[in-house]
Structure formats: C-alpha cells, structure tokens
Amino acid sequence: MATIEVNPGVCGLSSVIHAVSDDEQTVTFTVETTCPHIRAMADAIPTVDGYQEAFGKLGDGEIYQAAHAHCKHPACPVPSAFVKVTEVACGLALPREVHMILRKED
C-alpha cells in the first residue's frame, strides 16, 4: 500500500489517500478527507488504471476527470496527489516527498 498525506493550504481541509494495487496496474483508493469536494471526487473513482493515469496526458485520466467534476478549486494539490500515490502503488515511481513552498514577496 502507498499512502500520501496532503495539507492543501489555507482551507485546512486535509486528505490522506491510500492506494493499493495487487497487479501493479489496477489501483484501489481509500480516502480520509475533511473536504466534501474531495470526498465526492474519491467516491467517483474507487479504482483506476494506474498506467493510464501515469502515462496519459494531463487532464485525460479518470482522476483529473473526477477532479474536474467535483473539485471546486483549480489550484487544489489533492488531484495531483492521487496521481503520485497511484504511480507509487503501481511501482512506477519511488515514494519521495513533494513540497510546495508558497511566499508572497514585497
């Protein structure tokens, strides 16, 4: 199982996404989230084809289609987290932390 924790920023609506793949292609998600939009997104994609998600064009996979339908904030990092954890669950990427550091400079 691969797990990714996301603190998306000022909204404070955190998510933990667990991804399991028994065949290194089909991925099943279990999602803990305080965001109703991410909950709806997760419910729309209980399983995905990991290869299609990892190697398709941005926006073409089931993850981003569900994000388009349910996620209300275009800058939300959670859809990207779904793709990252999918790659790890399928053995297509190593589990490494991802950081975004946002500042406003005067």
Q: Tell me: the pLDDT tens digits for 44-97?
A: 999 999 999 999 999 999 999 999 999 999 999 999 999 999 999 999 999 999
Residues 6+ apart with CB under 8 A from 8: 14, 15, 35, 76, 77, 78
CATH code that applies to domain 2-89 = 3.90.1010
Enumerate the domain spans of the chain: 2-89
pTM here is: 0.94
Q: Tell me: the pLDDT tens digits for 12-48?
A: 999 999 999 999 999 999 999 999 999 999 999 999 9
